[in-house]
A and B are shown apart, each in its own frame.
Chain A
Amino acid sequence: MNDEKTKETGGFFEGIASFFRRDLVSYIIKRILAIFPSLLLISFVIFVVIQLPPGDYVSAYIAKLTGQGEQMPPEVIEQLRADFDLDKPFMLQYWSWIKGIIWTPSNTTWYRLYGSHHNWKYSFSEGKPVWTVIREYLPLTVGLTLAVMIFQYLVSIPLAVYSATHQYSLGDYLLSFIGFIGAAVPGFILAIICMILAYKWTGNPLVGLFSKEMLENGVHWGNIGEFLKRLIIPFIVLGLGGTCGTIRSIRAQMLDEISQPYTLTARAKGVSETKIIWKYCFRAAINPTVTGLGTSLSHLFSGSTVSAMVLNIMIMGPVLYDALLSQDMYLAGAIVMVQAFLVEVGILLADIGLAFLDPRIRFSGGSR
C-alpha cells in the first residue's frame, strides 16, 4: 500500500518539469498585465455604483444623528460635505481618488506623513486611513476563512469520494440528504438555531468568537478551550454550505468518472481500486472544484457577511456592508477593489492549477 502511495504521488505530480514551457510563462505574464486595465474599469464601475443610492455619506450620517436627537443646520451639513469633498462634481471625485491610488508624488502631505506613494484615502465613518481599517480586520478574516476552507475540503473530499464509490448505500443516502439540507439552509438561520441550541443546552449562547476575557487578554492556553468551543458554531455555519456544495459537486463528478472506460483498463492491468479512485477518477473529478477555488481567493478576503453579522464576528464582510450602507465611499471602494483584484488573481491561479491538473487544457487551451 505504501508503495502504491508513492507511486500515486509520483504519478500525480508527473509532468511538472515539462510544464515550464515558455508559452505558459508568457501566458501568465499576459494575464497579469491584463488585470490592470480591467481593474481600472472596475474602479470606475464601483465608484458609480456606490454612489447610486440617493444621498451620500453626509446625508446618512445626518439622518443617524437626527434620529438620536442631534440638530444640524444646513450650513453645517454643507460644511461637512465640503470637508469630505462630496460637493465636488462626480468625475472630479473619481479622478482625485484613482489618481491618488495609482501614484501619489513625494511632495504631498500623504507621502510625508505615511511614506507611501499610494493614497487610498480615509474612511469617513472611522476617520482613519482606509488601509488601517482594512488591516485591523484582515487577520481575523483571512485566518477564520482559511481555516474554514481547509476544514471544508478536508471533510468534503473523503465524504464525497466515499459517497460516490458506495453509491446507493445507506451512507450515500445519508450524506446526500445532509448535503441537500446543508446546501439549502441559509447560513444565518443555521447560526440562529445553533445559538439557541447552545443557549438551551449550555446556558451560554456563545455570542461572538471572543469572550470579553479573550478580548482583553488575547487567546492563550488558559482560554483555548473556550475559544475552541466558540469556534464550533462559526465553523458549522460558515462551512456547512460550502462543504455540502463541494460534496455534491465532487460526488457527481466522481460518479461520472468512475464509469469511464479507462477505469476498466486500469483494473485490467491489476491496479487496486483505491489507486484507481484516487489517481485517475479523483484527479479528473476535482476539475470544477479547482475552478471554484478561483473565486474563493476573494472570498478569503471578505468572508461571508450575513452569517458573520448574526454570529457577531467582525470580519471584512460586515465592514463592507456597513461602509456600503453609509456610503463610506473610499473604504467600500478600496475593499471592493481588493476583492476584484483577488478574484482576477484567483481565477488566474485556478486556470494555472487546472492546466497543471489536466493536460488537455495545457495544450488545447480549452476543455475536452
Chain B
Amino acid sequence: MNILYYVVHPDLDHSNANRSLLRKLPLHPQLKVIDLYDRYPSFSVNAVAEKELIDWADALFFQHPLYWYSVPALLKQWFEIVLTPGYAYGKEGTALAGKRWQHIISTGGNANAYRSEGYNQYSMEELLRPLESTAGLCRCEWHEPLIHFSAKHARGEQLNAFNDQVVNTLTDLLETR
C-alpha cells in the first residue's frame, strides 16, 4: 500500500512532539513524507504536483496540531486548491474514492477538555466533523484520528507510546498488499 504522509506544522522547530514523531517514521519506498510548510512556504500550493502524489497513494495521512479546532491554515489552503470539483468530489470526481484518510493530531489541552463537560464543550469526534465530512465528500475511508492530547509537554514514555501507535499503524499498512 502506498502511503502519502503530510506533516503540516508552521513552526516545526518549536514543536517537540511533532518533531520526535517525524524522526520515528519508517524509511520505506512506499511511504512518502511531505513537509507542507517547507514545500509551500508562501502558500502557493501546486495542485498538479499534489494530484500526482494523490494518484500514486492508497492512503492519506495528515499529521498536524489542532489549531482553532481545525487544521493549520496551509492544510486548509491545500484542501481548497487540491480537492477540486470534478477531481475530488462531484460528478466524475472520484480520484480519492476508496483511499484511506486519517489525521494524526496533537493538542495542547488534555483529553478531559474535549468533553461536553470540559472547557471545549464538545467531544473531539464532534469537533472534527468538518474533517470527517471533507473525507466523506471525497468518498474516502475515514479512519478515527490518532490524537496526542497534552502534546506540548509530552516527554519520555508518553511520547514514545503515541509515536509507537502511529508507527505501528503505518508499518501494518505497509505490509498489507
Same complex = no
